Structure formats: structure tokens, C-alpha cells
Amino acid sequence: MKWLLTLGLLVVLASLAQAKLTRGSVPADHEFLVRQRDIIRLCMKVHQHNHYEEQVDLVKDYDPSVAGKFKDVTPIKKLMKYYNAKTLLPRGDIFSLFHKEHREEMILLFESFLFAQDWDTFFKTAVWARDRINEGQFVYALSVAVLHRDDCKGIILPPAYEIYPHLFVTSEVIDSAYKAKMTQTPATIYMNFTGTVRNPEQWVAYLGEDVGLNSHHAHWHMDFPFWWKAAEYGIEKDRKGELFYYMHHQMIARYDLERLSNWLPFVEPLSFEEKIEHGFYPQTTYRVGGEFPARPDNFHFHDLEDIKIKDMLDYTRRIKEAIVKHTVINKNGEHIPLDAVHGIDILGDLMEPSVESPHEDYYGSLHNYAHILLGKVTDPLGKFDLPPGVMEHFETATRDPAFFRLHKHIDNLFKMHKDLLPPYTKAELEFPGVKVLDWEIGNLVTYYEEFDIDMLNALDNTVDLPNVEVKARVQRLNHEPFTWALHVESDKEVTAAFRVFLGPKQDWYGSDFTINTVRPYVIEIDKFVAKVVAGKSVIHRKSSESSVTIPDRETTTLLLDRVDLALDGKETLNVNKDERHCGYPDRLLLPKGRKQGMPYQIYVIVTDFEKEKVNDLPYDYDYGGSLSYCGVVGGHKYPDTKAMGFPFDRRIYSREDFFTDNMYTKDVTITFNENHKH
């Protein structure tokens, strides 16, 4: 028995050591470098035929359904059948994940990629598909496969704004880019946000149209696809429904803070029965298929052929009823409780809905259908054959202010559930023996900077005209890096979880928010675990270490150059196999604030990690660095048992009921520096 325990301990220690080893960056080996290069090449100029001859040659006589090795051959067989029958979405057509047939075809391709038993089959099947399957379906299926295959760990995908610049820049920029190529003149083209200052919604376009925000959102939905079949794929997505709620809740709260910085009221929830007050003119063009549809002001929702407004109201009513009764029914008519632990996760699955929805026929497809209704609002019956709207792609959805209104509607339903739960008790909030004494924090300063989007993939490769360097220059929000130091006193050594939040202090009239009214607008800015010694200690943290964010993405051209140099042995390329594509942009960690300074409050709560921990991993394991909004992937469980957003997710009666010794709050000021030098 004793040796069994010893052996068990050794196994645990070995796996801990392994986990430690995989953290951080290590030099990439030759095999990895070749794979990284090949995947990037597959994503270049996807609208044209593959111009990497060696890839084309590789699959000249390759039929994946015959030559490939798959764990399950059904998806590739089906795909080949449709391909040979020429019934698949043609190349050049616009792919939307919200379109059922488009999605089902894409899933067949994704499953072929996921079920490929070795790299050879995966890669050859991808090269085969690159020139034969619709490019939108291909890039999406490939991206999700790269994010989930073990042999792709650490491979970096090009940012969406470089794969499809058309989705992110205005038509004007595209026109100028073509001119630059025709005249063979390298160019940097300035791009403005959509609309004019006469449209108050445009004052916050710097957030909705931020390419980093859109990339984060698109990648979140690739890490947690609503169509994910966990059992079939053998990859669980722990607390996926709750993450759907929490990540979007935080996005709306952050949007509201930007609105407050600009003296705009908080965003109103969308109602399917009322007109949509603010229109949206995306000013973007598909490569083929025309302009993204625009929506004039005060437009009403209309029934689509297969989605009716009345059904949306019924879904909403049934969901509200389930929330009030604290129970949902599943397909077998059984009641599943919406309790304090799992309720929010179940509701997330039900409202998005994901494959895990307890009863999709009854509770419907509230959120996904709303995306489609908004996307098709100006051509509901397809009379004018308009292409999909910005709301019908995760890459472009946040550009439309109505995105935040839709998600506020959904978020209010989640809030209704949370508000019906009992407030946290003192026992749930406190950490006996641990006291926060002080908090020092550096200056919080934001500014605008310029950022260049590489337009390489926007322009076709042509025989006569070589490529020229063309960039779109956009303005974006950033902040000065800041640090903070938390002074803590403890009567013993403990492993403590730190949750750090920021909320507005005053409303538009200068009146202070109460602790309960400010709750929905409190944003998480960091969460981590640290050792606290007995006696007094100081915990230091940098803004760049935040668990909410990821740093700026490297351009694909630069990455490809570095991979080539490493393959030639001229440079070492480091790879972090835990690295996430999903993560809020570091630049946007703080709201803009105001140039005369805007008051906020920061909050921290320190809790006993030993009581809430889930995994047997080192306490400071960071799960790829963007845990707060992007959860965990790679087969781990979410690392703690607390509700996401704890302790601000439940009602708070008063400051006295709420604040305990292990919490601390402090007034801070965020100043927007309009004279920042680039």
C-alpha cells in the first residue's frame, strides 16, 4: 500500500514537473518550424489558388478519403461525396458560420482535420482542401483544428485582420490599396472610423472597430464554438456556458465604460418589438459579393422566412420563466435545477445556444438567431440578395453598436438569474487571518496611437505586377504600462487567489454609484494566485501580466521571416505551447477615461486558493496567460470553483455587508493624454 502511495506521489510530481516544463517559451525544433511555416503558407491569399508549388504538388494525386488515416472516416467520406457531386459552397462565395448549411459543411471539414490520425494525413488533407473547398470554410475549419490538435500546440495562426483585411478596413482603403499596387507605389493609407462625429455612437467606434477586439472575439468563438460536440471530439470545454456569459458580460461592461468616458449613456438592451434607434453603415466591402449591408436609423425587425419575431419573444419568455422557477426542462421533460453552482453554465448553453442546450426546440436559438435577424434586417426576405451583415461574422460583429445592445438583452437575462441568488454571506467573502493593508498603484494614463494593418492578403498576386508594401493606418487606444503593489498581512503562510476589478466612481452627473448599482459595470482587470508569507508581504504586479489580456500580435510577414531564419539556423525562434490566440488586447485593459482625469475605483479580494482549487498543477500555472475571459483549453479544468466575476456577480445590499478585511478598494484616476507623442 505504502509503495502504491509513493508511486502515486511520484506520478503526480512527474506530471507537475512536466507541466512546469511546458510553461514559458522553449526554442522551437526543426519539425515545429516546418509545421509553423506550412500552416502560415496555407493561410496566405486564400481567395486565390495556392501559389506554393510544393504544397500543390504534394496533393496532386491525393484523395484524402482513400489515402488518409482517420479515427473516424465518416466526415471525410461525406465531404468527398458532396465535393464530387459539386454541392458544396463554391469557392469565392461568402461563408457565414450562422448559415446552417455552410456550417454543416465546414464541420465535416473540421472533423476530417480533427480526426486525422497523424500530421501527414492532417496536413495533406488541409492542402487538398485549400484549393477545393470554399476559402471561408477552409480557414475557419483549419483555425479551429490548429487550436485543438495536439500536434499543433504552439503554432501561431495569422491574425484574422491579416487573413481577410477586407472585413476590417473600409472600401476606401481597399480602393487606395489597389491603386498603390497598380502604380507600384508602396503606401500607408489612413483609415477613419465609420460615420461622422454627428453620430454620437461613433464616439466609441474606437472600441467596436478595434481590430484587436474583433480578433479576440473571433478567437474566443473558435476556442469555444457553439457547435462543439465535446463527447464526439473527446475534448471537454469546462464551464463553456458560463464563459459565454462572462466574457460577453465583460465586453459590454467595458463598452459601457467607454461610453461613460465619452458622456454617452450606458447601452440599452435590444428589444425585438421596438425599432433599432441607431443605424450602422459599415463602409466595408466583401472581396466579391458587394458592400456589407447598411442599416438606416429607426429600423424595425422583420420576420425572416425561418426566424419569426414572435418565436424570439416566446423563447425569451420561456427563458425568463425558467429563471424565475430556478429550473429548466430538458428534451425528456425532466427538470434540471438552475442552482447557484451550475445554473449560469446551463443558461449559457441554453441561450447561445450550444450543442449542450438542454432543449433547443423549446428554448430556441435566442442569441444566434438574433445575430442573423440583425444581419438580415434590411433584406429580410432576400429580395435584393444582399450579402450577410457584419453581425453574421464573429470577426466583424462588434463593429455594429447593435451588437452591444443585443448582448445587453442576453446579459440582462443572466443578471436576472444571478439577482435571484442570495447575496454572498460574510463567511463566503472573508479569509480569516488575511488582511489587505494598502495598495500602491502607478499613474493610469491612456492615449491614442497609430497602428498599421498589413494589407498583403487584400491584393491578388499577379503575374505582371509584383506585390508592393501597403498598410492601412488606424488609430487605437492604448495605455501607459503601470504597476501596483498590494500590502498584505497574514497570520500564516497561505496560497491566495487575487481578483482585481475596476469600476466607475461617478455617473454623468457626478453622483457616486452605490456598490450595488456599480456592479454591472465593474470590469475584471486581473486574477492570479500567489504565496503570502506569515506576517507582512507585498505582492507586485505589472499591467502586462494581467490574466485578462494578451500582447499585440506579430505580423505574419515578420513571423514568416523569423521562421525562415530559424530554419536556416540563423536565429532561434522560441515557442510557447500554451500560448493563446484568445485574449483581450493588452492595450485595451483600461477604459479611455477623460483628459481632465476621470475617477474610478479599484477593488481587490483575496481568497483561500486551497479551498477553491480544482487542478493538481503548480499554484502559479497561468494556463496560457488569458484565463479571465478565455478560460482554459488543452484538457484542463477551469482552475477554481468560484463563480466567474465573484464577488460582483451577486446582489450587494450595502458596503457594510460586503467589505471584509481581505478586500480593499481605492480611488484612482484615469487620464486620457491627447498630446501623447507616437
The catalytic residue positions are 352
Least CB distance to ligand CUO at residue 528 (A): 25
Site string for ligand CUO, 505-544 (x = CB under 6 A): ----------------------------------------
Least CB distance to ligand CUO at residue 213 (A): 11
Instruction: Give the nearer residue to ligand CUO in terms of CB position, either 348 or 624.
Output: 348
Pairing mode of beta strands 327-329, 335-337: antiparallel
Burial of 511 (0-12, 13-18, 19+ CB in 10 A): exposed
Instruction: Give the nearer residue to ligand CUO in terms of CB position, either 366 or 605.
Output: 366
End-to-end CA distance of the chain, in Å? 66
Least CB distance to ligand CUO at residue 403 (A): 7
Number of chain positions touching ligand CUO (CB under 6 A): 8
Report how far residue 636's alpha carbon sits from residue 658's, in angstroms, rounded to the nearest whole number.
32
Site string for ligand CUO, 226-265 (x = CB under 6 A): ----------------------x-----------------
Q: What is the DSSP letter of 65?
A: H
Beta-bridged to residue 599, according to DSSP, are 669
Does 367 interact with ligand CUO (rule: CB under 6 A)?
Answer: yes
- The C-alpha cell 446579459 sits at 411
Instruction: Give the nearer residue to ligand CUO in terms of CB position, either 270 or 532.
Output: 270
Cβ(578)–Cβ(623) below 8 Å? yes
Does 397 interact with ligand CUO (rule: CB under 6 A)?
Answer: yes
Which residues within the stretch 13-32 sit at the binding site for ligand CUO (CB under 6 A)?
A: none
Instruction: Give the nearer residue to ligand CUO in terms of CB position, either 407 or 471.
Output: 407
Candidate list 153, 295, 318, 371; residue touching ligand CUO; CB under 6 A: 371
Cβ(85)–Cβ(115) below 8 Å? no
State the CB neighbour count (10 A cutoff) for residue 367.
21
Instruction: Give the nearer residue to ligand CUO in terms of CB position, either 217 or 592.
Output: 217
Report how far Cα 648 is from the mean position of its chain's Cα atoms: 22
Least CB distance to ligand CUO at residue 244 (A): 7
Instruction: Give the nearer residue to ligand CUO in terms of CB position, either 127 or 243.
Output: 243
> Could you tell me the sign of the dihedral formed by the alpha carbons of 191, 195, 197, 200, in that order?
negative
**In 387-396, which positions are buried (b, 16+ CB within 10 angstroms) versus exposed (e)?**
bbbbbbbbbb
Beta-bridged to residue 446, according to DSSP, are 479, 672
Least CB distance to ligand CUO at residue 247 (A): 8
Does 409 interact with ligand CUO (rule: CB under 6 A)?
Answer: no
Instruction: Give the nearer residue to ligand CUO in terms of CB position, either 246 or 439.
Output: 246
Residue 453 backbone class (left: φ over 0; alpha: ψ -120 to 50; beta: rest):
beta
Q: What is the DSSP letter of 419?
A: H
Instruction: Give the nearer residue to ligand CUO in terms of CB position, either 270 or 518.
Output: 270
State the maximum Cα–Cα separation within the chain, in Å, rounded to a whole number.
Answer: 79
Instruction: Output the residue with the shortest Cβ distance to ligand CUO.
Output: 397
Least CB distance to ligand CUO at residue 647 (A): 25
Least CB distance to ligand CUO at residue 46 (A): 23
Q: What is the DSSP letter of 423?
A: P
Site string for ligand CUO, 125-164 (x = CB under 6 A): ----------------------------------------
Does 216 interact with ligand CUO (rule: CB under 6 A)?
Answer: no
CA torsion angle 128 132 135 136 (round to 10): -100
Which residues within the stretch 614-673 sit at the binding site for ligand CUO (CB under 6 A)?
A: none
CA torsion angle 88 89 95 97 (round to 10): -30
Candidate list 217, 295, 553, 587; residue touching ligand CUO; CB under 6 A: 217
Least CB distance to ligand CUO at residue 363 (A): 16
> Could you tell me the sign of the dihedral formed by the alpha carbons of 367, 368, 371, 372, in that order?
negative
Least CB distance to ligand CUO at residue 218 (A): 9
Does 219 interact with ligand CUO (rule: CB under 6 A)?
Answer: no
Instruction: Give the nearer residue to ligand CUO in terms of CB position, either 215 or 660.
Output: 215
Which residues within the stretch 457-476 sit at the binding site for ligand CUO (CB under 6 A)?
A: none
Residues 6+ apart with CB under 8 A from 94: 136, 286, 288, 289, 387, 388
Alpha helices in 287-436 (DSSP H): 309-325, 343-351, 360-363, 366-375, 401-419, 426-429
| List of residues contacting ligand CUO (CB under 6 A) | 217, 221, 248, 367, 371, 394, 397, 407
